[in-house]
Amino acid sequence: MTEITEGNVDVIDDAGNDSFLRDGIRVFAKNRMAMVGLTLVGLLVFVALFIPFISPHDPYRVAMDEQFLPPSATFWLGTDNFGRDLLTRILYGARISLIVGIVPSFISLMIGAVLGIISGYFGGRIDFIIMRLADMMIAFPSLLLAMVVMYTLGANLFNIFIALSLVGWAGVARVVRAQTLAVKEKEFIEAARANGTRKGKIMRGHIFPNVVPTLIVLFSLSIPEAIMWESSLSFLGVGVQPPEASWGLLVAKGKEYIFSAPLVAIMPGVAILITVLAFNFVGDGLRDALDPYMKD
């Protein structure tokens, strides 16, 4: 997965915002893989929102007499061990994947951005405490920490939000801190201090806008990571619980029939693969568009 290096800093003033945005859109639109990824993500969002109107099948209906039916005009990917339409279950799983990908990523992004700006701007003891806490979070295996949280709080969707938010903020904080250290030495920050502007307003109105492009890229790249974490937790039995249609849970249940009914395990895995690749393509395109060091 592509990452933003801590040294990449782009200072944006108000007069250059429009030009910066136009240039970013132009660069992104010229990136074919990014546009493919954006198309796939858009299709995924559309399916997640309108799946009740797209599929005629009930994802929770049990029909044991229709167990493991092969693909047909009625069941395009066949049925699972409870006679449920596999394609419908996979499409409903897109909802959970998007929610789990977006919500915890946004929460951890905001936590990391706030702590990173505070750490970089104030320095000293505050910087030391925040960065050592971030080092502890990074040093601890993320999936293992998420599993501990899930075992402690219980396996449900809300607790997945808490677990993934806790494990995702530290990397964001380090990147934002590095950019804050560079931005706070610029002339317009010195001018704001000389004019008596309060520290809170400087951080909110001058420093934060300059780290927004990096936050956008980090957000797009953290979504597939969160989807993978949720799938892993569900696969291990501490994530989304039956009868919900999580992709990780579908793979976990389908692996028991990998030789007799391989599509039951393979197709949810393919859905995870395509979704993660699509978001990574979008993230790479945003990085190329918004990171000045990546532009020609």
The rounded average pLDDT for each run of 10 residues, N- to C-terminus, in the chain (296 residues) is 42 54 84 94 93 89 91 93 93 92 94 95 93 91 88 87 90 93 87 86 89 90 92 90 89 91 93 95 89 54
Alpha-carbon gap, residue 234 to 211, rounded angstroms = 34
Distances (CA, A) of 141 to 156, 206, 224, 237, 295: 21, 35, 18, 18, 34
Q: Report the largest interatomic distance among the alpha carbons of the chain, rounded to a whole angstrom.
A: 78
Alpha-carbon gap, residue 229 to 225, rounded angstroms = 6
CB atoms within 10 A of CB 43: 13
Q: What is the pLDDT of residue 292?
A: 53
- In 3D space, the residue among 138, 168, 139, 152 whose CA is nearest the CA of residue 230 turns out to be 168
Fill in the amino acid letter for 233: L
- In 3D space, the residue among 242, 283, 248, 282 whose CA is nearest the CA of residue 265 turns out to be 248
Q: What is the pLDDT of residue 71?
A: 93
Is 124 buried (19+), middle (13-18) or exposed (0-12) by CB count in 10 A? exposed
Alpha-carbon gap, residue 66 to 242, rounded angstroms = 19
Fill in the amino acid letter for 192: A
Q: What is the pLDDT of residue 19?
A: 72
Q: What is the pLDDT of residue 193?
A: 86
Fill in the amino acid letter for 212: V
State the CATH architecture for 37-49+79-254+261-294: Orthogonal Bundle (1.10)
Asked whether 40 and 97 are in contact (CB, 8 A), the reply is no
Q: What is the pLDDT of residue 15?
A: 46
Q: What is the pLDDT of residue 8?
A: 43
